[in-house]
Amino acid sequence: MALATQQQVEELADKITECADSIHARLIQAIKRKEIDQSAAQSIFQDEAILRQRANSLYLDATNCVVEGLAESQEEMLGLIDTAKEKIKTISKIAGLIDLIADLLVLAATAYAAKPGSILAALKEVKEDMVAL
Amino acid sequence: MHAMRIARVLLLTFALAGCANLKEVRDYAGEAAKLSAYTELTTRFRDTYEREQPYLFGEAERLAQENDKKRKAAYADLLKIHQRVSLYMQTLARLAGEDTFDLTPEIGSLASGIKAYPDLGIEAKQVDAVANIAKVITKWITSSYQEHAVRSMIKEGDADLQATLEGMTALVRYYKKTNDNERKTVLGFFEVEIPYADAPKDRLLATLARAHVQAKTAEYKNAQLKYAAAEQGIKSIAEGHKRLLENIDKLSHAEVKSMIGKFAKDIKAMRENLQAVHG
C-alpha cells in the first residue's frame, strides 16, 4: 500500500467514526426526548458499535501498512548498529593486544630469570590472550 | 621517539578529531527512556477487545473478535520497532562513551608488568615516562577514531531513524483513534441504557452503572495523557537527532578552547616524560 493509500484509509476510518458520532448524538437526543423505546435505542446503538468496529479495523490496516513500510529502514538500522559494534570490538581487540604484549614481556623476563614455574604460568596467560583475540 | 614526530602525530589527530561533541551525544542517547510510553500504548492497543467485550453484542462483537486477532498478530512487529530504536540509541551511547575507547588501563598494566622485572634493565621512572607518552598518543588516536565512528553513525542513521520515528508517530495516532472508538462504545453503552433504568426498582442497578461510568471515565482520561506523552517523546527524540546531525560539523568556540587546553597539557606532560626517558 502506497503512502497516499495509507492516508486515505485513515481518512475513511475518520469519516466512519464521525458518522458513528453523529448517530450517537442523535440517538441520545431522541432518548432524552423520549422519542424511542429501549429496544429501538439498543438496536440503533448496535449499529453505531458496528460502525466503530469497522473504523478500528481500518486503523488496523493502516497500522500494518506502517509496519510493512518500515521494514527496510529497520534493516538499515540493524546494519548501522552492527557496524558500530564492530568498531567497539576493534578497540577491545587492540586492548587485548596490549594485554598480550604485557604477558609476552613477563614471559621473556621469566625465561631470562629461568624460573620454570613462572614460565608455565606466563605461557598460559599468553595462550589465553591469543584465544581472546 | 622524536619530539617533532610526536608533535606531528598529535597535530594530525587533532585535525582529524573533528567536531563531534561526545557529551552531547551521550546525553541525547540517554533520553531513549522518553519512548517507553510507546511500548505501554502498544500493549494497551493489543488488549482493546478485552476491555470492550462486555459492552458488545451480535455483529459488533463478531467484528471486534476479528480485529482482536489482527492486533495480536501485529503486536510483536509493533514492539520490534521500538526495540530497534532503543538499541540504536544504546549503541550510539556506548560508541560515544567515555570509557569505551579508553586504553589507559591496559597501558598502565603493561607498564606495571615491565617494572616488576628489574632484570630487564629498564628503570622504573623510564618505564613510567614511556607509558605516559603512550597513553597520551593512544588517547588522541582512539579519540579521533571514536569521534569519526560517532559522526558516521549519526550521519548514516538519521534518515532511517527519522523514518522510523515518523512511523511511530502515525502508529500512536492510530492507537489513539482506536482508543477513542473504544471509549465511545463503552461510555456510550451506559449513556443509552441508564436512562431506561429510571424505575424505582432499578435504583440499585442505575447507581452501580453510574459509579462504573465514573471509574471508566477516569481511566480513559488517564490513558489520554499517555498518548500525548508518547507523541511528545517521539517528537523530542526526532528533533534531538536532527540537532545532532546539524551540529556535527560545527565546532563551537568553547570546544576549540577546551581541546587546545587539553592538547597543551598533554604536550607539557610529554616533554616531562621525554626528559625522564633520556634522563
Q: Is A62 in CB contact (< 8 Å) with chain B?
A: yes
**Count of the separate structural domains present in chain A:** 2
Return the higher-pLDDT residue of B115 and A114: B115
Burial of B234 (0-12, 13-18, 19+ CB in 10 A): buried
Q: In whole angstroms, what is the distance from residue A129 CA to residue B15 CA?
A: 34
Residue B13 has pLDDT above 80, yes or no: no
Instruction: Say yes or no: A37 and A94 in one domain.
Output: no
Quick count: other Cβ atoms within 10 Å of Cβ B237? 22
Instruction: List the single residue in B with minimal CA-CA distance to A42.
Output: B192
Within a domain: residue A74? Answer: no
Average pLDDT (B139-149) is 79
B63 vs B35: CA distance, rounded Å: 31
Residue % of chain A over a pLDDT of 90 = 46
- Which range in A84-98, B69-83, B135-149, B245-259 is most confidently predicted, on average pLDDT? B69-83
| φ and ψ at residue B250, rounded to 5 degrees | -105, 145
Interface test with A, best of B44, B91, B171, B234 (most A CBs within 10 A): B91
Could you tell me if A88 and A131 lie in one domain?
Answer: yes
Q: Residue A80 and residue B107: Cβ atoms within 8 Å? A: no
Task: Report, as an integer, the average pLDDT of A1-22.
Answer: 85
pLDDT tens digits, B223-244: 999 999 999 999 999 998 998 8
Q: How far is A50 from chain B (nearest CA, A)?
A: 5
Q: Do A49 and B185 touch (CB under 8 A)?
A: yes
Top-confidence residue, B53 or A118: B53
Does residue A64 share a domain with residue A89? Answer: no
Query: Which one of A32, A76, A99 has the shortest CB-CB distance to B160?
Result: A76
- For residues A30 and A90, membership in a common domain is answered with no
Among all residues of chain B, which has the CA nearest to that of A101?
A: B110
B157 to chain A nearest CA, in Å? 7
Question: Cα dist. A53→A72, B159, B216, B219, B243 in Å?
Answer: 31, 35, 20, 21, 41
Interface of A with B in 31-60 (CB under 8 A): 31-32, 38, 41-42, 45-46, 48-50, 52-57, 59-60
User: For B185, which residue in chain A has the nearest alpha carbon?
Assistant: A49
Chain B residues within an 8 Å CB radius of A88: 94-95, 100
Of A62, A77, A98, the CB nearest to B88: A77
Asked whether residue A3 falls in the same domain as residue A51, the answer is yes
Q: What is the mean pLDDT of chain B?
A: 84
Structural domain contains residue A21:
yes
A54-68, A82-96, B51-65, B118-132: lowest mean pLDDT where? B118-132
Range of the domain at A129: 81-133
Is residue A48 pLDDT above 90, yes or no?
yes
The answer to whether the CB of B95 falls within 8 A of the CB of B150 is yes
Binary contact (B180, A17; C-beta < 8 A): yes
Average pLDDT over residues B74-90: 91
Q: Check residue B20 and give its pLDDT.
A: 54
Q: Is the pLDDT of residue B16 over 70?
A: no
pLDDT at residue B221 in the model: 95
DSSP codes joined into one string, B189-236:
HHHHHGGG--SGGGHHHHHHHHHHHHHHHHHHHHHHHHHHHHHHHHHH
- A53 or B109: which leads in pLDDT: A53
ipTM score here? 0.77
Last residue of a domain, one of A46, A69, A92: A69
> Does residue A133 sit within a domain?
yes
- Per-residue pLDDT, averaged over B102-113, amounts to 77
In 3D space, the residue among B45, B54, B58 whose CA is nearest the CA of residue B216 turns out to be B54
Query: Within 10 A of B31 (CB to CB), how many other CB atoms are there?
Result: 14
Count CB neighbours of B139 within 10 A. Answer: 18
Q: What is the pLDDT of residue B204?
A: 96
* Contact: B153, A80; criterion CB under 8 Å: yes
Of the listed ranges A35-44, A54-63, A102-111, B230-239, the one predicted with least confidence: A102-111
Lowest-pLDDT range, A14-28, A117-131, B21-35, B97-111? A117-131
- Determine if residue B123 is left, alpha or beta; phi over 0 gives left, psi from -120 to 50 gives alpha, anything else beta: beta
Q: How far is CA B52 from CA B39, B162, B184, in A?
A: 21, 34, 10
Q: Across chain A, what does the average pLDDT equal?
A: 83
- The fraction of chain B above a pLDDT of 70, given in percent, is 85
Q: Is the pLDDT of residue B7 over 60?
A: no
In a domain, A107, yes or no: yes
Whether A127 and A97 have beta carbons less than 8 Å apart is answered as: no
Residue A75 lies in a domain: no
Is A89 inside any structural domain? yes
Give yes or no: residues A3 and A56 share one domain: yes
Average pLDDT (A98-124) is 69
B105 or B200, which is more confident: B200
Q: Are residues A41 and A62 in the same domain?
A: yes
Domain assignment present for residue A9? The answer is: yes
Which of B22, B77, B100, B115 to substitute to test the interface with A, most A CBs within 10 Å?
A: B77
pLDDT tens readout for residues B191-224: 999 999 999 999 999 999 999 999 999 999 999 9
Query: B88: closest CA among B159, B170, B142?
Result: B159
pLDDT band, very low/low/confident/very high, at A41 (cuts 50, 70, 90): very high
Residues A22 and A61 in one domain: yes
Does residue A76 lie in a domain region?
no
| Residue B174 to residue A10, Cβ atoms within 8 A | yes
Q: What is the mean pLDDT of residues B150-157?
A: 89
**pLDDT for residue B1 is more than 50:** no
Calpha distance B108→B132 (Å, rounded): 8
Confidence at residue B19, expressed as pLDDT on a 0 to 100 scale: 46
Give A128→chain B minimum CA distance, Å: 16
Q: Is residue A11 located within the same domain as residue A54?
A: yes
Distance in Å, alpha carbon of A46 to nearest chain B alpha carbon: 7
DSSP string, chain B: --HHHHHHHHHHHHHHTTT--HHHHHHHHGGGGGGHHHHHHHHHHHTHHHHHGGG--HHHHHHHHHHHHHHHHHHHHHHHHHHHHHHHHHHHHHHT-TTTT--HHHHHHHHHHHHT-GGG---HHHHHHHHHHHHHHHHHHHHHHHHHHHHHHHHHHHHHHHHHHHHHHHHHHHHHHHHHHHHHHHHHHHHHHGGG--SGGGHHHHHHHHHHHHHHHHHHHHHHHHHHHHHHHHHHHHHHHHHHHHHTT---HHHHHHHHHHHHHHHHHHHHHHHHHH-
CB B30 within 8 A of CB B246: no
Domain termination site, one of A44, A69, A94: A69
- Regarding whether A64 and A25 lie in a shared domain, the answer is yes
Query: Are residues A67 and B95, on separate chains, in Cβ contact within 8 Å?
Result: no
A6/A62 same-domain check: yes
Residue B110 C-alpha, separation from nearest chain A C-alpha, in angstroms: 5
* Residue reference for cell 581541546: B259
Do residues A36 and A87 share a domain? Answer: no
Could A106 and B153 be called an inter-chain contact, meaning their C-beta atoms sit closer than 8 Å?
no
Q: Which residues of B touch A74 (CB under 8 A)?
A: 80-81, 84, 160, 164
> How does residue A1 score in pLDDT terms, banded at 50, 70 and 90?
very low
B218/B186 Cα distance (integer angstroms): 13
Contact list, A28 vs chain B (CB under 8 Å): 191-192
